Amino acid sequence: MNQPDSPQVIEQIAAYLHISPDQIECIPIRHGTFERNNVWRLNAGERSFILKQHLIAEPVGESTFTPFQVESAILLRLHQARCRVPELYWWSDAASYLLMEWCGDTTLDDLAQKTPTGELNPILQNTVRAFCQLEEGFAKTAHALNPYIYPLDYSVFLQDMLQTLLDQGRKTLDYLAWMRGEPIPADQAAGLDAIWTRMSDCLHRATPTLGTLDYNARNIVVNGDTPTFIDFGSIGWDWSERRLVQSLNSLGANRTNGNFVSLLEQEVVKEYAGQVSEHREDCSETEITAQVDYHQLLFYLSIIHRLLQSTAQPEEAESKATLQAWGDPKARFQRALALIINSHLSEDPDTKRLRELTATFRDASN
């Protein structure tokens, strides 16, 4: 499907724009090696828009609303709250199409893969501000958005999911220790367990916030230095720091020579913590930066776990998908390990010790 499959939609858009249908051109938008067949740049004379069709026409799981209904409602509310999301101009309930403000077609993931991080500082500062505005926008409109929240018992789901990540991360550190040819000594393991308990307790105590459930660097488009957050077909509860980490780490999936790129640095995290702490009476900037650091560490430990699982069971469907999207697993492993060791996002002594310990595993294997 290279063009919208409904000529009536083009006719309706033309009528909305007061032009003839033959003045409209739809160009599919590509990201990486995949073509997104449900998103187009719609050119109408000198104006450009984004045209998106939701391909899932039924509610997902136990949800009451379709992704199209969720996204259209969320965009209207968030735009009214002055968040950096596309303005919604026109929509078709019958065909699940959205006509939105053109905000560019270069994603933060694109920029991370081809631009030195130091050159992205203005964009990253703007992205953090826009991220915080988005979090605040969700908080202010939470009551109105409540019907659209994906139905889960989040108090159980989030704690279970976090504990799974923590357990996987701890086991992955044990595996990494074998890079030096021996397990972690008992006294060192006891110290590691104590650190892991403190980190776990801190993350489990943190309060989740309402926001999108589809957060990654491909869902931030950049036009000049201005970021815009996109894709709001599903919303729910999660931790802001986890969203930040996954939004500002580029996976470079389905790209030739793609690899992991972290856009998080201490100054970026400080900017985030400074803004967020204004609205959290029970959490200091120091605690917030530590939580970002913890989530960054868990993120890349989970990636290493996924790589190890994929190479150990290459015939599994999920492993095939991972290896196809990420390419050379050795290069990916080395990059993820380097990011664990070199990402100093806070002054937290526990993450510093974990990174130092991981570095000894790597260095002993060289």
For residues 81 and 88, is the Cβ–Cβ distance under 8 A?
no
- Whether residue 339 sits in one domain with residue 289: yes
Residue 2 resides in a domain: no
Number of domains in the chain: 2
**Residue range 9-41, pLDDT digits in tens:** 999 999 999 999 999 999 998 655 555 578 999
What residue numbers bound the domain in which 36 lies?
A: 7-101
> Bridge partners of 48?
43
> Bridge partners of 149?
235
**Residue range 293-317, pLDDT digits in tens:** 999 999 999 999 999 999 999 999 9
Residue 230 resides in a domain: yes
Domain end, chosen from 52, 78, 101, is at: 101
Residue 1 resides in a domain: no
- Whether residue 329 sits in one domain with residue 180: yes
**Residue range 256-281, pLDDT digits in tens:** 889 999 999 999 999 999 999 988 88
Domain end, chosen from 101, 130, 156, is at: 101
Which residue's entry shows tokens 């409540």? 146
- Whether residue 303 sits in one domain with residue 154: yes
- Whether residue 217 sits in one domain with residue 247: yes
For residues 358 and 365, is the Cβ–Cβ distance under 8 A?
no
Question: Residues 178-200, buried b or exposed e (16+ Cβ, 10 A)?
Answer: ebeeeebeeeeeeebeebbeebb
Question: What is the CATH number for 321?
Answer: 3.90.1200.10
Residue 263 resides in a domain: yes
pTM over the 0.85 mark: yes
- Whether residue 144 sits in one domain with residue 111: yes
Domain end, chosen from 68, 101, 134, is at: 101
- Whether residue 256 sits in one domain with residue 222: yes
- Whether residue 245 sits in one domain with residue 203: yes
Residue 123 has pLDDT above 70, yes or no: yes
DSSP at 41: E
